[in-house]
Amino acid sequence: MEKWVCEICGYVYDPAEGDPDNGVSSGTKFEDLPDDWVCPVCGADKDNFAKEA
């Protein structure tokens, strides 16, 4: 599964980890994150993420 990088703060969303602090369980693909999910570090929305090169 692909990792996605926040272009604002550099946080990497790793589907293997998910975002458990915000109710996203491990194994959740970036595409399956809810539309209102935001970067847990800086608060940027999903539009600010790019696939990790």
C-alpha 48/C-alpha 5 separation (Å) is: 8
Part of the chain binding other proteins (CB under 8 A), chosen from 12-20, 24-32, 39-47: 39-47
CB 18 within 8 A of CB 3: no
Q: Examine residue 5 and tell whether it contacts other proteins (CB under 8 A).
A: no
Q: Examine residue 9 and tell whether it contacts other proteins (CB under 8 A).
A: yes
- Shortest reach from residue 41's CB to other proteins, in Å: 5
- Quick one: tokens of 53? 């090169």
Binding site for other proteins (CB under 8 A): 8-9, 41-44, 48
